Homo-oligomer: A and B are copies of this chain.
Amino acid sequence: MSGHEEHPVDDRAGAAPTTLATGRLEAFSDGVIAVAATLLVLDIKTPEGSDALWPFLGHQLPTLAAYVTSFLTILIFWVNHHALFHAVDRADRTTLFLNGVLLLTVTFISYATSVLGHALQTGHNDSAAAILYALTLAAAASCFVALWLHLGRHRELLSPQARPRVRAALRRSVTGPVLYTTAALLALASPPASLALDAGVA
């Protein structure tokens, strides 16, 4: 558990590693986040033969707004993920687990987006769908808080330059869950306003 080393070589190769260098972890996370972002487009329906295209797209505006919001939000999460793992030299089991939960919630965004787009378009369930959507984003954002909390307690996992800055990063990461939880509450009153707040955070 001593963990940190100058050169990121795992000295337990061949055994289950207690800590691991973050290169492949970043590549794998990039893959999951990139696929999650790209799959969003599959939710936009194509018109049937008899529909005129422009009115059809106009009718789909809520779905398109949800698609753009989710895509840009996932990009922001990716930027934050990049900043976080840039600061990390070695990942331990807890970091791996928290990163796993983060990736799980990021893939779930595509489901929440699909539900929200459909609900805004039909007018059914729009409040519940906006709550689900905002809570999903809040859950993803909370994983960053949990990661920074964990890294703050295990600074040996961070690069030497990053250690003095972990507190500031933690403080900044708290904004996300707070705003997304506010958006969830706002959804009780006005689903479109809630989505606008979600988009504003991005």
Contacts and interface: CB of A to CB of B under 8 A. Distances in A.
A172 B15 CA distance: 9
Nearest to A151: B14
A41 B107 contact: yes
A202 to B, nearest CB: 10
Interface string A17-28: 100100011111
Contacts of A119: 53
Nearest to A40: B107
- Determine the interface band of chain A, counting residues with CB < 8 A from chain B: 35 or more
A83 B80 CA distance: 25
Contacts of A25: 82
Interface string A29-53: 0111111111111101011011111
A4 interface: no
A110 B46 CA distance: 11
A88 to B, nearest CB: 9
